[in-house]
């Protein structure tokens, strides 16, 4: 049987670079196929059925490419589709990102917190289970409709005015921000410009640690070249350039 050492990783676009960079810090010799599904971006406002179908198509592609494991580097797809994917592809292991709300409970349980995520994530059953389990009753939930989309397109002015309009009501009220969408760590500075000094939490580092553990347990660790193959579903060359720019910016 053909063996493949590759790890498949996907997001609705290039935001998943923020997850990949955490993985690269602890698994620099793994080989990756990064699938940027910009043709279907944004996922955040899509129906459950659409997100499941889109995710299944990408999983089929990774299976064809004989990936050994799949990372869902999109909170929305994780929240909505991972359970179905695990049921329908029992032979495959899925590692799924989720908003780092448990970290608030573990590290700063008394502090006021803002959770920013897509509407799809905030409304999902998976996120609501997490939220109800760790609720500190000092948390605001903010569905950021359209934000991932303008980050994906790199529309800096629109990002700034979006944040100004939607975050200014929280200025001075919160200490922590959970970045519940993998695109949002790319705009930490702009968020701080509106909110002032806040601490950020996202799930990428915990995901990377978990991934390493799963690979070790299954004897799947690779001492390869660290190659990253980038695929974009809308075949947009500009995406590839920005993805690698983000990756090096994240790794600084
Ligand atoms: N990066 C995706 C997430 O983490 C963006 C969702 C979207 O495309 O709306 O949720």
What's the CA gap between 65 and 54, in Å, rounded? 17
Same domain, 87 and 178: no
**Does the active-site annotation cover 67?**
no
Residue 217 belongs to a domain with what CATH number? 3.40.50.1860
CA distance to 36, 65, 81, 201, per residue, from 224 (Å): 23, 17, 30, 31
Instruction: Give the residue numbers spanning the domain of 7.
Output: 3-97+204-250
What does the CA dihedral 64, 229, 80, 51 come to, rounded to 10 degrees? -70
Kindly tell me if the per-residue pLDDT of 188 is higher than 90: yes
Summarize the confidence of residues 168-195 as an average pLDDT: 97
CA 77 to chain centroid, in Å, comes to 9
**How much of the chain, in percent, has pLDDT values that exceed 90?**
92
pLDDT, one tens digit per residue, over 101-112 is: 999 999 999 999
Confidence of residue 251 (pLDDT cuts 50, 70, 90): low
CA distance to 39, 42, 43, 164, 236, per residue, from 177 (Å): 29, 22, 22, 15, 32
pLDDT, one tens digit per residue, over 49-77 is: 999 999 999 999 999 999 999 999 999 99
Kindly tell me if the per-residue pLDDT of 246 is higher than 90: no
Ligand 1 pocket, residue 181 CB under 6 Å:
yes
Summarize the confidence of residues 9-14 as an average pLDDT: 97
Same domain, 109 and 197: yes
**Does the active-site annotation cover 144?**
no
Same domain, 173 and 212: no
User: Who wins on pLDDT, 204 or 224?
Assistant: 204
Quick one: pLDDT at residue 180?
Answer: 98
Write down the mean pLDDT value for the chain: 95
Kindly tell me if the per-residue pLDDT of 3 is higher than 90: no
CB distance 14 to 230 below 8 Å? no
Quick one: pLDDT at residue 44?
Answer: 87
Summarize the confidence of residues 41-45 as an average pLDDT: 89
168 CB neighbour count, 10 Å cutoff: 11
pLDDT, one tens digit per residue, over 76-94 is: 999 999 999 999 999 999 9
Quick one: pLDDT at residue 26?
Answer: 95
Ligand 1 pocket, residue 58 CB under 6 Å:
no
Same domain, 209 and 130: no
Same domain, 61 and 132: no
Same domain, 91 and 77: yes
Task: Output the CA 115–ligand 1 centroid distance in Å.
Answer: 14
Kindly tell me if the per-residue pLDDT of 249 is higher than 90: no
Domain count for the chain: 2
Task: Output the CA 3–ligand 1 centroid distance in Å.
Answer: 31
Place of tokens 């001492």: 223
Same domain, 15 and 86: yes
Burial of 165 (0-12, 13-18, 19+ CB in 10 A): exposed
Quick one: pLDDT at residue 1?
Answer: 42
């Amino acid at each position: 049987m053909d063996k493949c050492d590759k790890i498949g990783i996907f997001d609705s676009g290039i935001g998943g670079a923020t997850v990949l960079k955490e993985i690269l810090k602890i698994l620099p010799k793994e080989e990756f196929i990064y699938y940027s599904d910009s043709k279907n971006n944004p996922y955040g406002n899509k129906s459950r059925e659409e997100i499941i179908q889109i995710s299944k198509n990408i999983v089929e592609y990774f299976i064809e490419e004989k990936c050994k494991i799949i990372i869902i580097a999109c909170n929305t797809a994780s929240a909505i589709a991972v359970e179905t994917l695990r049921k329908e592809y029992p032979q495959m292991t899925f590692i799924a990102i989720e908003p780092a709300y448990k970290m608030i409970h573990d590290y700063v349980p008394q502090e006021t917190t803002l959770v920013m995520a897509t509407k799809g994530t905030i409304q999902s059953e998976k996120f609501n289970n997490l939220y109800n389990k760790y609720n500190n009753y000092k948390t605001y939930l903010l569905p950021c409709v359209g934000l991932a989309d303008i980050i994906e397109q790199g529309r800096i002015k629109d990002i700034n005015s979006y944040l100004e309009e939607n975050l200014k009501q929280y200025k001075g009220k919160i200490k922590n921000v959970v970045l519940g969408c993998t695109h949002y760590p790319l705009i930490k500075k702009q968020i701080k410009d509106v909110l002032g000094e806040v601490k950020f939490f996202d799930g990428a580092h915990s995901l990377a640690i978990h991934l390493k553990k799963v690979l070790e347990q299954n004897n799947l660790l690779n001492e390869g070249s660290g190659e990253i193959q980038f695929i974009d579903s809308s075949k947009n060359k500009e995406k590839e350039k920005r993805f690698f720019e983000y990756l090096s910016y994240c790794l600084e």
